[in-house]
Amino acid sequence: MAHFGFPLETIIIFLLVVGISIYLDLFAHKHSTEITVADAAKWSVFWVMLALSFYGYLWGRFSKEWADLYLAGYFLEKSLSVDNLMVFMAIFASFGIKSVLQHRILYWGIIGALVFRAIFVLVGASLFMASPWVGFLFAALVAWSAVQMLKSRGDGEEIEDYSDHWSVRLTGKLMPIYTKLHFDRFFVKHQELFTDSEAMQKITRTGALYATPAFLCLAAIETSDLAFSFDSVPAVISVTQEPLLVYAAMIFAILGLRSLYFVLAALTRYLVHLEKAVIALLFFIAAKMVLQSWNHAIGDTGLHISPTASLMIVLGTLLAGVIASWLFPGAKDDESQA
């Protein structure tokens, strides 16, 4: 299969769709209001339909093979994001952030993810194309992530305290902190506090500008997402090494994360086997990457996994996790009581 490259038409359409979507999302949620599960579900459907529309464009304008590569990457990134959203829940709990402010923090967190994903995808895809041996390193990273998820399942339900995260400590060294939430603000100026003696007792040290717990929470969200990128970017690159398709798949998946978070927060206790499906997917991706790299770096084994087969395996594994959760809903409760 020839390289997809960077068709100017596709880049323009992609950037326009993403730009307009981000603006509409910001305009629709410009006020800090409680996000209901029903509203989040409607937005989740919108983001999925938008991603599928881009799939239809790739199929109609180019070919089904390119479209399948994009869609497999999209669903893979979406499924891997489930574990990341669980971490976000723990971060919000550590800072005592309620759902109203969660929406604002997630918005800016996703804006940051768009930028960092672009950097990681370009670097990762360039490394992968530079040498097929890099695939073995990427496979090890993905397999390591799967093993870590397996270990965390065995450690019980203990939740990490992110209020002492290294990003929080670093922020405290760089600037003073006002230890109390101030409306939905990330920063508060000194002149807004100095007349209030009680407020001045809640600062770590005197300064012109103070970071609030909302910003500290955002810092923990961003750095956690950066760490997550080291697993997800190689995984999606294993499906297709085309930078534009990889980035499009990841961005369309990320755009819907904020709405998915509120849906997942309500459904997490029901999807008890979905994490197992994600772990199985990671092991499959690692094996696929080893096979791919072996075929290019050492010798062709004659075994090749087509884009359509990858897509079917990704969708089938996720569907199996959802069905298992529906058929055996009591499994999690049984484990917790053991």
Give pLDDT tens digits for 191-244: 777 777 777 777 888 888 888 888 888 888 888 777 777 767 777 777 777 888
Ranked by mean pLDDT, the top range of 15-24, 77-86, 140-149 is 15-24
Structure confidence at residue 52 as a pLDDT band (50, 70, 90): very high
| Residue 135 in this model has a pLDDT that exceeds 90 | no
pLDDT score recorded for residue 60: 92
**pLDDT confidence band for 335 (50 / 70 / 90):** very low
Is a pLDDT exceeding 80 seen at residue 27?
no
Q: Tell me the average pLDDT of the chain.
A: 77
Question: Which pLDDT score, from 0 to 100, does residue 58 have?
Answer: 93
The pLDDT value recorded for residue 337 is: 42
Residue 116 has pLDDT above 70, yes or no: yes
Position 234 scores a pLDDT of 75
Mean pLDDT value of segment 286-304: 78
**Higher-confidence position of 30 and 35:** 35
* Domain extents in the chain: 8-151+234-337
174-185 per-position pLDDT tens digit: 888 888 887 778
pLDDT in tens, 144-156: 777 876 776 655 4
| pLDDT exceeds 70 at position 248 | yes
Q: Could you write out the three-class secondary structure of the chain?
A: CCCCCCCHHHHHHHHHHHHHHHHHHHHHCCCCCCCCHHHHHHHHHHHHHHHHHHHHHHHHHCCHHHHHHHHHHHHHHHHHHHHHHHHHHHHHHHHCCCHHHHHHHHHHHHHHHHHHHHHHHHHHHHHHHHCCCHHHHHHHHHHHHHHHHHHHHHCCCCCCCHHHCHHHHHHHHHCCEECCCCCCCCEEEHHHCCCCHHHHCCECCCCCEEECHHHHHHHHHHHHHHHHHHHHHHHHHHHCCCHHHHHHHHHHHHHCHHHHHHHHHHHCCCCCCHHHHHHHHHHHHHHHHHHHHHHHHCCCCCCCCCHHHHHHHHHHHHHHHHHHHHHCCCHHHHHHHC
Q: What is the reported pLDDT for 53?
A: 93
Instruction: Please check the confidence at residue 55 and state whether its pLDDT lies above 60.
Output: yes
